[in-house]
Amino acid sequence: MITVIIPAHNESALIEGCLTALLASDPVPVSVEVIVVANGCTDQTVALAGRFAKQAEAKGWGLAVLDLPGLGKPGALNAGDGAARFPARVYLDADVTVSSGLLAALWGTLDRAAPAYASGRVCITGQGATARRYARLWARVPFMAQGVPGCGLFAVNASGRARWQVFPPIISDDTFVRLQFMPEERHLVNAAYDWPIAEGFAGLIKVRRRQDAGVAEIERAYPALRANDDKLPLGLGAKLGLALSDPLGFLTYTSVALAVRFLPAPKGWSRGR
């Protein structure tokens, strides 16, 4: 049995696409419920998500929309966990579009007694030329190409969810959960999902700065989790290979990384896109 938790803050432009794709999933041999946690929304997210209730019912799934005050993303995830009826959890960002076979593939991996973490093959998407170049290169970095990063979508079974109590007030919830599991407990399923990134050079800088800060925060606050990290630095040979095979992508990716390192940080955080 699976609960899909979707934290959503002012996602009226994206929540319909997220739920349409999710409800088009292939049959799953267990009960499924979807909880949309509308977190301080001032737009039409709640109303739009609620329109999918009959479609979910026709599929044999449950769908609930929690209209809550602004809790921040960790608070929204905790609210979703508090309302969840089923032990296995899929945490899904509202801007993610799943493929039809992903949910069934996740359940096939999570259906075990031992703790398990799972995600699908992430397809990093961008609309503009800069975002597409950045995404193209980033997708080839070994951690993204060979690991189980869980960007925008990660799932755990009941014994895996027992690894932590609540989501702490941190930036990088996906890193926090991923590092609760040893590399051999993390599983990549053969089904894809689309995960959009920020558009434009300035947007990519803001998001990359947030990502780096989130990882640094985990290292400071939860140093014991570092033992579970399998993210290796990109060696000189690998960098050269990427640069020669995709000069524009490498230039874009490297320029963003250098800008994050040397330009002054803004006062506020950017969202993930």
pTM for the predicted model, two decimal places: 0.92
The residue-averaged pLDDT of 176-197 equals 96
User: What pLDDT is attached to residue 268?
Assistant: 46
pLDDT tens-digit readout, 200-255: 999 999 999 999 999 999 999 999 999 999 887 778 888 899 999 999 999 999 99
The residue-averaged pLDDT of 193-204 equals 94
Given the structure tokens 């969202």, which residue do they identify? 271
- Other C-beta atoms closer than 10 Å to the C-beta of 72 total 15
Residue span of the structural domain in which 65 resides:
2-262
Q: Is residue 44 part of a domain?
A: yes
pLDDT tens-digit readout, 41-94: 999 999 999 999 999 999 999 999 999 998 899 999 999 999 999 999 999 999
Q: Dig out the tokens for 113 from the structure.
A: 């007694």
pLDDT tens-digit readout, 96-153: 999 999 999 999 999 999 999 999 999 999 999 999 999 999 999 988 988 999 999 9
The residue-averaged pLDDT of 156-167 equals 96
Strand order in the sheet with 153-156: 62-68, 32-39, 2-8, 88-92, 153-156, 117-125, 186-196, 97-98
The residue-averaged pLDDT of 175-196 equals 96
245, HSE (Cβ side, Cα atoms, 13 Å): 10
Q: Is residue 270 part of a domain?
A: no
Angle CA(8)–CA(116)–CA(102) in degrees, nearest 5?
A: 55
Q: Is residue 86 part of a domain?
A: yes
Q: Is residue 141 part of a domain?
A: yes
**How close are the terminal C-alpha atoms of the chain, in Å?**
31
Q: Is residue 205 part of a domain?
A: yes
User: What pLDDT is attached to residue 270?
Assistant: 47
User: What pLDDT is attached to residue 266?
Assistant: 54
- Total tally of structural domains belonging to the chain: 1
Does position 269 have pLDDT exceeding 80, yes or no? no
User: What pLDDT is attached to residue 70?
Assistant: 87
CATH number for the domain including 179? Answer: 3.90.550.10
Does position 20 have pLDDT exceeding 70, yes or no? yes
